[in-house]
Amino acid sequence: MQSIRQLMQLYPILYDLTISLTIVLIAWVLGRTAVRALSWISGKFTAKTESRLDHYLMEAFRLPVTLLILIWGLHIALDRLRRRDYSALQDYWNLVAGVLFIAAAIIAVITAIQVITAILKWYRQRIEQRESAQHVADFVPLVSQVGRILFMMIGIIVIFDHFGINIESIVVTLGVGGLAVGLALQDTLANIFAGITIMVDRPFRINDRIQVPSGAIGDVVAIGMRSTRIRTLDNQLLVIPNKTLVNDDVINHSYPDARVRVQLKFGVAYGTDIERTRDIVEQLALSHPLVLKNPPPKLYFSAFGESALELTLIFWLENFTQQLPVVDALNFQIDQAFRENTIEMPFPQRVLHMRQQASPDWGAPQLGKEGTEGSNIKDH
């Protein structure tokens, strides 16, 4: 012990380094102890709750708290050495202090981002359990990204202010640059704001079946900031810019519910008993297991066509996905029933009656004004 004390007196720098390293070690121990203490306190207060928020927050605080206390200890240790008049440290003290400040600012920003991410993660898990709040859950990623950018900007401003850098000129430069970027990315920004509009207005949701302006029909897979992805009935992924969906008409087949009204149009020949046809077709529709009984299917005499009496069968289905197979089945059944009951389904046809006229000069058929033979034409 005596020899160690004499060695310290002969080499004072060893003594100062030992004290500084001890301070750093104590800071590390304090950091670990603080984390354990926070975990214990948090566990005591939340032991009787099912919330996972305390767990997420502790995961966010665990490493940053330890690092911040360690940086604080490093600052005290190096400042002590600086006060001992070591010329090397005196010359580089501003650089060392600046590096420590930047490290502390970065850790603080990361901690804030992790805290907001933990809170939003917990909040999203809560609201996803409620179907009425699904639209709120879609905003969580957007809020998270905005929070990240905001905290990063605050951290940069604090660092610049610490070193005495004038940020006004930087803000002006960023403003001019932002204007140029905004003009260059005008379409992209329009799609981003359209994406926000879709999230707020909620014209459609994930898994809704919609018909887009191009006429394509499909199920919504994802609603992004720039585009919306739709899986078509051909199992192809259709990517549509959000601006197109906001500015043009979109048909939502799933809202307000999945029920769908189907119109099945066909014609019968003139002279057909419409009441008898109505009874046959409505009974066929009622007998189909997927056709809703309330409201019941109804056959309407819609128009007098050029070659047929035009009829329209209207019925409801429980889900829009049933439309194609039900229409297919009813078409087969109606065709078979009409054959069995001798009900004619006409098709457009043209009957041409030719009339011969003797020519006074050549005995050839006389041509009309348009260069065609005289005729009577009837459409059926």
Per-residue pLDDT of 233-274, as tens digits, reads 889 999 999 999 999 889 898 887 888 899 999 999 999 999
Sequence letter at residue 7: L
Domain 260-340, CATH: 3.30.70.100
Q: Are 24 and 67 in contact (CB under 8 A)?
A: no
How do the domains of the chain map onto residue ranges? 2-183, 200-252, 260-340
Give me the residues paired with residue 217 across strands.
Answer: 211
Per-residue model confidence as pLDDT tens digits over 27-39: 888 888 887 777 7
- Per-residue model confidence (pLDDT) at position 265: 93
What fold, for 200-252? Answer: SH3 type barrels. (2.30.30)
Yes or no: say if 94 and 34 are a contact pair by the CB < 8 Å rule.
Answer: no
CA trace torsion 291, 295, 300, 302 (10° rounding): -100
**pLDDT tens digits, one per residue of 190-235:** 888 888 888 778 888 888 889 998 889 999 998 877 889 999 988 9
Q: Which structure tokens are listed for 147?
A: 């929070």
Q: Does residue 295 contact residue 280 with C-beta atoms inside 8 Å?
A: no
The alpha helices in the chain, defined as continuous H runs, are 2-10, 12-46, 53-83, 87-127, 134-137, 140-162, 167-184, 186-201, 242-247, 274-287, 323-340
Contact 282, 311 (CB under 8 A): no
CA 363 to chain centre: 80
- CA angle 224-229-233, nearest 5°? 160
- Go through 5-27 and write b for each residue having 16 or more CB atoms within 10 A of its CB, e for each that does not: eeeeeeeeeebbeeebeebbeeb
- Arithmetic mean of pLDDT, 172-179: 75
Taking the model in full, what pTM does it have? 0.51
